[in-house]
Amino acid sequence: MNPFRYSGKDAILVGLSALCLAVEVAGCLLWESGYHLTAGLLAATVPFMMCTNYQCIAHNFIHNPFFRSRYANRLFAHFNSLSLGLPQTLYKYHHLNHHQFNNDAKNPLTGTPADHSSIYRRSKHMNRPESIFGYSLLGVWRTDLASYYRLASARREGVHVWIQLVSLVSFYLLLLYLSPTYTVLLLLPAWYFGQALALAENYLEHYGADPTDSKANSVSCYHPLYNFVWFNNGHHQEHHTSPRVHWTLIPAQRPANGHHRIVPLCHVTTLFQEPMPWSRGGDTSK
């Protein structure tokens, strides 16, 4: 019997999660064996693998759990926490908050967005986001994990957070045991930049879009190579409009006459395109 609920292609995502762990362990062993250059190159891939995990593996797992078995999904959530570098359950509630409020801008009455990960949250202006550098590099330390833990506990998932956290700490202690120098000097910085890259990608997926329009609050890019290597992650407006559609089917959700923001090649190019005009009051200056 096929263990996958929606598509056997989800096995690729499971394999990539395992690959990240293998790369981290292999880097420690190679460093201790004197292969410092090879180990360093492996460490350089870790931030990109973590970012891919956030955007493609953990992300898709939240919306469409991979396995038919509830226990298999629970086991994968614990396992994926190790390569994600954060308890999967905490990220789940962080991401569900993002989908509930869709990168909204600041509310004129409260002065803050409801989306905790909104690119406007820390901006000094009503209608302009903060810089991508502040959002991603500082955002690693701003995330209110305690609030997501409270949400998880309210839904009787607090114990899963603790199990995932203990597993994650144990894994990093193992890496420290295998190679203290490699873990401290290379893997811990790789963890930081992996988290920052994931935040930067979220920024790019919404920068210049219209947070007041549910059909145009995200940025899409349709380059075939980008979507092939990143599991259709370019169809971001489509995902926000239909978040439960499996990643293999999301291209079919592209509207024939959509008015959302579309950029070429990949999401990075959104920084170089003219943003959509919109106004919600307050500061509308450029």
Domain ranges of the chain: 10-210
Give residue 281's pLDDT. Answer: 40
pLDDT attached to residue 95: 97
pLDDT along the chain (286 residues), means of 10: 94 98 98 98 98 98 98 97 97 97 92 95 90 96 94 96 97 98 98 98 96 94 97 97 97 92 96 76 40
The pLDDT assigned to 238 comes to: 97
In this prediction the pTM is 0.94
| Dist. CA 143–CA 270, nearest whole Å | 24
Query: CA-to-CA distance for 137 and 260, rounded, in angstroms?
Result: 28
